[in-house]
Each structure stands twice: as structure tokens, then as C-alpha cells.
Chains A and B, each alone.
Chain A
């Protein structure tokens, strides 16, 4: 960890002004930032504590007629425990409940959670020189290294690091929007437009501009949001990242699928919406054949490496199980 300047701010204007440095970082729960600073992976010159902004709208959970509004400074535990979230958006509550540990969920903010960095061991260990995400053009040690936890979707020859978050899968599956402040003017974008696939520039992970802050997430209430769940398959039952995860929501008419929403966790470089799988289910009877077709479509373009090719089959089965479980829910 290198020496840094530390500031508290209590207004958004203060936060934006304090961030007018080349290497400034916002601090909320700190469960990603401080960790990476101790590892020298992130080296901000200025750390700006924005937790007091939670007293304003950024710390609120609102259920209104349109849907759900979640402030970026809401803690994961509070969102997961909120009765409206649990009843009307179970996929969101489960994606939060199954993540991290109780201690982390108490600390971590929703805004920080979606911006969390990959847990690729080569990214997190600065003694490995080859990491295009840390240093553009330096190579990728994971390609020929130990890559069991790495991604099979959205990969490039420059980076195969997995996006590790779960909550983001619920947001992308349910067509959430992100409200962003701090730039020239406040703006709102689809959550799907927040993250960027690695391509040739894995060091650029989001479309946020310098000094911008996520203010809140809006999730529309739709006919499929109640029949939803988050299924997480991993080596341990808790405090472990997904090997494969599926966020699914279904609007059923008997056993016919009116609408489906699917996102895949643990297998891709960014939050991953599986539109091909949704299309394979739309207006079809939800039987083994349709489920199989959806799973195949979801992983049609998957590329495995030496240690992670198993994720392709595991991911298909995880999606299939999630769909069956969602269909069996008593709503």
C-alpha cells in the first residue's frame, strides 16, 4: 500500500471536486478498494470517503409503482433483508444473500459491489508482470497459467478474467438502469451498458467517466420479476465465488413461457445477459427440449481453456436447473 491523501465529503459537489485528481478513488464499504490497495493493485493518490452521501438519496431503498429504486450506498445486507425486495424481486435478494459473507454484506455498498474487480490471481498479484488489465500490453499470465476460475464467455486473447459479482447478474437480467452523477450532467444508462468486455483493452472495465459516481439503480417491476431466483454453484456452500450461476425470471402461462430473463454468473468477463437462451424459450412450452435448447444457446460461443472448460457443461446444467426451479416456484 502506498501513502495516500484521505478526504471525507458530505456533498456530491464535494465528492466531484475532490475527485479532480488523476488517481482518485471513491470509498464506500471499502471491501474491494482497501483489499486491492493492500496488494498494490490499486494505487490511488487520493481516497475520498463518500459514506456521508448515504444520508441523501444514495442510501435509500424505494418500492414504487414503477418498480424498485436502490441507492448506490445501500449496504448489501440491507437490500437483501428488505421485505419488498424479498417478496417482489427474489432474484435480487438471493443474489445478495448468496454473495460474500455476513460481515462483508454489512459493509459493502451496492454501487461498490457492481464495480468490484476480478479475483483473477494473476491480476491480484503484482509480482506477475503479465496482466493486461493492470498494465495494458503486458500480456496475460492466465491464458497459459492456472485458469480454473476464469471465464468462458466474453473472453479475448488479452484477458479471460471472470467478473465475479452476483448482484450485477440480477440487474442485467431485469433490465435495470443506472443513474450516474458527477459528470457534465446526470445521466441514466441501461445497466447492460455499464461494463465493457476486455477486448484489446482489459484495463478499461466500465463506461464511467472520471469523477462520476453511481447514484442509484432502477429495476422495473414486470410480470416475470416475482417468479425469479438466483442459483449459485460453487466449491463451497458459502463465502465462495460462483463456478457457474444463473439468474432466471419467468412469466408463465401454464407451462408456456410468455417471457424469460436470463443472466449468467461466474462464467463471463462482464455481467452476462443470455438473450439467445431467452429467445429459445419465448412462446414455447417449458419442457426438457426447450430447456436444453436454451442451455445450448447460452453457451454456444463459449471458449474454454485448459482448466476451465468444465464450466461450459456446468453452466448449461446450472441454467437448466435454475429454469426448472423457477418453474416450480409457488408464486
Chain B
């Protein structure tokens, strides 16, 4: 289908493929997860790493657990290995809750409570102790190598081709789980916000 709104692509551009969700999103009709009313939800608030590289050496949750309304606090100490969640052909990235820290802002604890405010209050009372290492994130940082810039285009041609994903098409009537029971087989994944 020719797309009158998009310019003709040049050699370094992709195709102007029309998006199935475009009209819904620009008109505000698209429904996101938080648009579905849920009765009696629990609320989660994240505690994130304040170092960019290193490891968690201690977690003190006593003060956080004492906040009224807190249901559970998930950390690397009470969760197993986190597995990637399958969403059809969509990609997903996972991160562990520790003890290894790979980037600033890595989730190190998830506080679950019966109100958002309680979850947030408890989250700031979680005490994390780190052994910080020096990250390598700037030009000239230790461990960096330099490659010949003229070889870049060759490397891109050798890279595996990107898979063409179907736009997110799910059962429009599927509702998120309203049961507050917690399963030990927790799967933590980071997804870009896509509508249902």
C-alpha cells in the first residue's frame, strides 16, 4: 500500500510501512494496560541501583517491611533466576535483580503493597549496600578498544538480519490478571509500552 504521507525512502532508509496501531494512537483511542480498571490491585514500586557496576553486598529490608500495606519485597535473595517472557515474536530483554550490577538504574528490588504511596514509601526505606566497581562508559575508559571506522559498513553487512515483527496484535478483550495471589515463578521482563 503506497503511503502518501511518507517520503520515498533512500538507500539508507527502511520502508514506510503503515502501522496498524497508528490511528488508534494518534486519536487517543488506543488502550494501554493502565486504562483497564482492575479491582483490588496491588502496586509495585521499583528500587533501582545507584551504582553503575559492582555487586550488592547487603540488603536490609526491615524498615521497609514495617511500612503498613507492604505485601512483599522481591530481591535476588528470594527470587530464582529470572526467565525471559515469550510474547510471540516480539523481543524482550531481562535483567537479574542482582547481586551483580551491570548498569545504573538496574532494578534491585520490587516492593509490592496495597497502595502506591505505601509501595513508594517502603521503597525509599530499602537499604542496599554495594561494592562498587569502576564502570567503563566513556571514551578513554579502561578496557576500551578502538576499531577502524572504515570497516564499520562491512561489519553491518555481516550482522544477522533484523527479524520483521508483526505489530502487536492481541486479543483486545484480554484483561490483566486481577487475582492478587503471588506466584513464585515470577517472570520479570521489560517491554516497550504497547497497547492491548
A residues in contact (CB < 8 Å) with B: 1-3, 40, 125, 127
Contacts and interface: CB of A to CB of B under 8 A. Distances in A.
A2 B50 contact: no
Nearest to A40: B124
B121 interface: yes
Interface in B99-132: 117, 120-121, 124
10 contacts: A1-B120, A1-B121, A1-B124, A2-B121, A2-B124, A3-B117, A3-B121, A40-B124, A125-B50, A127-B50
Specify the main secondary structure of chain A where it touches its partner. Answer: loop
Contacts of A125: 50
Interface size class of B (residues with CB under 8 A): under 10
Contacts of B50: 125, 127
A3 B121 CA distance: 7
Contacts of B117: 3
Nearest to B50: A127
Nearest to B49: A127
A2 B124 CA distance: 8
Contacts of A1: 120-121, 124
Nearest to B118: A3
Nearest 6 CB-CB pairs, A to B? Answer: A127-B50, A40-B124, A3-B121, A2-B121, A1-B120, A3-B117
Interface of B is mostly: helix
Interface string B125-148: 000000000000000000000000
A3 B117 CA distance: 8
A127 B117 CA distance: 21
Contacts of B124: 1-2, 40
B168 to A, nearest CB: 31
A125 B50 CA distance: 9
Nearest to A1: B120
Nearest to B130: A127
Given A1-B120, A1-B121, 8 more contacts: A1-B124, A2-B121, A2-B124, A3-B117, A3-B121, A40-B124, A125-B50, A127-B50
Nearest to B51: A127
Nearest to B67: A3
Interface string B44-64: 000000100000000000000
Nearest to A38: B120
A125 B49 CA distance: 12
Nearest to B120: A1
B119 to A, nearest CB: 12
A229 to B, nearest CB: 39
A170 B22 CA distance: 48
